[in-house]
A = this chain, B = another copy of it.
Amino acid sequence: MNNLPGHPPGRGPGASVKITDVAARAGVAPMTVSRVLNTPDRVSEPTAARVRAAIEELGYMPNLIAGGLSSRRSRMIAAIVPTIASPMFSAPVQTFTDAMEQAGYHVMLALSGYGAESEDAQIRAVLARRPDGLLLTGAQRSPAIRALLRSANLPVVEIWDTGPEPTDILVGFDHAEMGAAVADFFVRQGHTNFAALCARDPRAILRRQGFVDRVAHHGLTLVAERRLDAPSSIEDGRTGLRQIVGQLAPRTALFCSSDLVAFGAMTEARLHGVNVPEQLAICGFGDFEVARFCSPAITTARVDGGAIGARAAEALLARINGATAESRVLVPFEIIPRGTT
């Protein structure tokens, strides 16, 4: 009586058909409409059909804000990553979002850049929306933030890293170990001169450290090195190589913190008349498309970023649904020898 279908009572005209309107139209209680939408098994078929018809006729669209307030479940997950301009993060975010949507959750995306205090602020901000779960990048958090996360009492999954004390769930791998594996790989190929182009990204720094330590462990040293800004790009790889090309030994093995850097380094090396792989062997990280399909294809330390997102979604959903999910998922990495070594 109060609200004709097209003349809602709210401020602007529009989709303000509410559950009570549907209920009135179908001749049932609002709660019954809610049940048709959320727990259809608990409604008799004839009633459900009438309700569905009313929903259709009125163009009713449930208000998940109200539902979330009432049920204290937002059906929303917040994801905080430094950037999605790099495949390193766009890949897991893509698969994670896909998987969560499949399960009826939406993903709120927040970008933290590469500053810790910015991430802290983002965490506080998204918690105000009461997400049902949280995806974070990396495993290094301040005690204050850890306490905040614990008191928020929601499942948290941290990706791309590993560490002694995860906040909750962890999906990643040991970066230092991977760096060491690359060093071993080079040594096995008979290399004795090493160089590195490494971004100032917390995890890239761990990989580099693992690489450098293992090189030292073999009694060998770096002949050249350069740090790059994060997130690092093809251009950084090119300028980085340009700066160290004079210091390279006749046969040097170059460790790069990402495939983009590796691709840039390879491109620049050739322009300087340095043959790849004869004079300069290169290993990247990430198995990005460009590394796989350029020529020669770039040897890389591969971790499936998409798989990380998928496993993170699995673990988070399991935890949300009360299952006792694994709290530490180690994803495998492997070195894929290709044309640059």
Contact = CB atoms under 8 A, between A and B. Distances in A.
A106 B101 contact: no
Nearest to A239: B293
Contacts of A14: 151-153
A59 B267 CA distance: 53
Contacts of A125: 106
A175 B85 CA distance: 24
B85 A74 contact: no
Interface string A108-128: 111100000000001011111
Interface in A236-260: 238, 260
Given A14-B153, A64-B128, A84-B93, A293 B106 contact: no
B234 A59 contact: no
Contacts of A91: 85
A153 B12 contact: yes
Contacts of A97: 109-111
A279 B303 CA distance: 38
Given A11-B72, A85-B91, A94-B85, A129 B64 contact: yes
A238 B108 contact: no
A89 to B, nearest CB: 9
Contact of A271 (B128, B267, B295): B295
Given A15-B152, A59-B151, A129-B64, A108 B108 contact: yes
A37 B7 CA distance: 34
A142 interface: no
12 contacts: A10-B72, A11-B72, A13-B151, A93-B109, A98-B111, A108-B109, A234-B289, A235-B293, A238-B293, A263-B294, A267-B294, A270-B295
A-B interface, 4 closest residue pairs, ranked by CB to CB distance from nearest: A14-B153, A234-B293, A109-B109, A12-B153
